[in-house]
Structure 1
Amino acid sequence: MNKKTILRHRHPHQHNDGTIHYDEHAHVDSDHKHKHRSYIIGCIHGLAGSGSLVVLTASTLSNIAMVLEFILIFGIGSLLGMTIISSIMGVPFVLTNKGARINKISRYVTGALSLAIGANIVYQVTNNLLF
């Protein structure tokens, strides 16, 4: 079932006398969604994490052909790995999409586990630094 949303927004405009005002209106049956947001966040994560590892490893290679081959193989491997992991992580949400309660519970459990793992990592790092 495709839910339609009400999209409210404002448009500024200026008159000849310099007065600026905003007209607010709504599109009642708008299908406007920001599905590209996940893709952009994924691109940013991809750019942020592995660049230094690629440069470090590529600097140890002897010629430009090996460097280009390494970058190509690394890029393809990263792309495939992220695609597979994302697909596997999405399976429970697709399967529980019919049951909103199960989906909500699984999101809370996943969030709680993520927080617990993060807290454990912070504890271990600070414990090693202090003692």
Structure 2
Amino acid sequence: MQPIIPILFAAVVGMGHAFEPDHLLAVSTLVTRHDRLGPALRDGLFWGLGHTTMLVLFGSIIIFSRATWLHSGYFEVAVGVMLIGLGISRLLDKNSYQSFQLPKQRAGFAYTVGLVHGLAGSGALVLAVLSAIPQPAWAVAYILLFGLGSVLGMLVAVGLMRVPFTLRMQLGRRLRAGAVVLSSALSVGYGGWMIYSNLLI
């Protein structure tokens, strides 16, 4: 019965995991392209599903094969590269600075961003889970609930991100442009730090 206790808190821990800086920066570059909450929540949902998919699939491989060597800093570097790409693409997209509904993105793009994040986080998560729950089936159950919790957490985060961009609280054009530049610069800067810290330190 011991594994039941940490599993009961898996979703709560997963919700907190969604609020990590690299997750928020990546998703913010996706959801703030929308002036309506519905499409923004859709991108947050697909990010969460992609994140959970990779956590469960890759995490299961590590758990059942005991291939803990698959935990690599290069996955974190991949996330850093992705953050830089997302930030630069948003800076160069002139539509990002306009206060109208932007062309729809394919949900598959948000899902792919989530997959990359899940790949980077799965190794460390599995090592932590196995130290507390050595039984493989229970460990996979924990990771699944953890991932579903991260989906819920990201939906909450998206709702908060959208407040300044709703029609009732529409930002002025200059303020909106400043928000775009700031969030994009943070994405590029944090991505660069992730690459530096995992390759050069």
TM-score in terms of structure 1 length = 0.48
Q: Give the structure, 1 or 2, with the largest relative contact order (CA under 8 Å, sep 6 or more).
A: 2
TM-score in terms of structure 2 length = 0.35
Larger radius of gyration: 1
